[in-house]
Each structure stands twice: as structure tokens, then as C-alpha cells.
Amino acid sequence: MKKLGIIIAFIVIFIIAIFVGKYLYSSDAKEENMVKNEEKNNSIINQVDYSVKNDITINIDSEEEKISPNATLILKKHYKECGHTIKEYAEIPEEFVNLTKSEIEKEYSQWEVEKFTPLDIILIKEEEGFCNEHYILKEEQGIIAVYKVDKQGEETLYETTGISVEYLTESDKLELKDGIKVYGKEELNSMLENYE
């Protein structure tokens, strides 16, 4: 029986030792995590540059976004006389690649940066005068014709589309008889697609 008592005591001491070890290990791990978090916070604080003038301003070191060679460039021109804004999609010029917003603003001061991300740049500027993209759609001998309208309101045949008015609704035919005014090539193409 004495042997059994010694074995049970040994097992109890062994189990207690496991629990004590686990507790001590867990306390060390928590303390180590706290130290790591404190070091991380100190590292972040060291990256912040405090400069004092009238009050405190905080500047965090960060890289400015730069234009990707795959970016989309949209040039918008707002014409004061007619009030229209014309959008033009363009390839990114090689000299734009890797420029920051501030560099674009400096190099192209006649344009205002409306949107700037590495993949989308929209530049806009105001132009004096008339946008010269005023059109009117009319029915001409059973097909849709496109006329360009100048500043004085004079109409000049721009193109005959080959789109027949034969299968259009009566309201569409009436609108075309009176003439449908559109501005911008995007809107013109969209209208013509609707009639095809």
C-alpha cells in the first residue's frame, strides 16, 4: 500500500507541476506580447514628426500616390459660352508615369486636378467660347441624318447614318421630324445606338 500511496503522490505532484508550468509560461507569453506591443507603439510614435509653430501639427511620413502606366486619363473642358463640358479619354503620356498629384499640378497648371488616384486621373479646365460639339438628329429621306450646329445656329450635314426610320415608334419619328438636339460625341453615339 505504501507503494501505491507514493505513486499517487508522485502523480499528484506531477499534475500540479504541469499546471504551475503552464501558468508561468502563459504569464511569460503575456508579458512578452505586452513588451512587443509597447515596442511597436514606440516605433510608430518615432515615425511621427512633431513640429510646433502656433499649435501642434503632426506629419506622418508616407509616400504620395504616383500615376500607374495603366491609368485612365480623362480631359474635361468646360466651355463658358454654351455651358457644356466635353470629356475626352486619352492615353497616359509617358511623361505622366510615376508623377505625383503635386507634380501634375505644377507641370500642368492650366488644368485643375479633379480626381487623382494611381489608376484614374481627371483633369479639367475652362475654355472661352463654344464647344463645337452641338448636333441635331433629323429624318432625311427615310434615314437619320446628323447635322452639326455652329455658334450662330447654322446647320451643316455631318453624316448620314444609314439608320432607317421605318421601324421607329411614331413618337420617335415626330421627334426626328422636329430635330433632336444633342451635344458631345458620347451623347451622339449613345442616341444613334438607341435607334439602331
Least confident of 61-65, 81-85, 154-158: 61-65
Structural domains present in the chain: 72-127 (3.10.20.420), 134-195 (no CATH)
Q: Residue 146's pLDDT is what?
A: 92
pLDDT at 51 over 80: no
pLDDT at 195 over 60: yes
The string of DSSP codes covering the chain is -HHHHHHHHHHHHHHHHHHHHHHHHHHHHHHHHHHHHHHHHHHHHHHEEEEESSSEEEEE--PPPB--TT-EEEEEEEETTT--EEEEEEPPPGGGTT-BHHHHHHHTTTSEEEEE-SSEEEEEEEESS--S-EEEEEEETTEEEEEEE-TT--EEEEEEEEEESTTS-HHHHHHHHH-EEEESHHHHHHHHHHH-
Give this prediction's pTM: 0.51
User: Model confidence over 104-123: pLDDT tens digits?
Assistant: 888 888 889 899 888 888 99
Q: Residue 62's pLDDT is what?
A: 44
Mean pLDDT score of the chain, rounded to an integer?
78
Q: Residue 92's pLDDT is what?
A: 83
* pLDDT class of 34 with cuts at 50, 70, 90: low
* pLDDT class of 47 with cuts at 50, 70, 90: very low
User: Model confidence over 138-183: pLDDT tens digits?
Assistant: 998 889 999 998 888 888 899 988 888 888 888 888 888 888 998 8
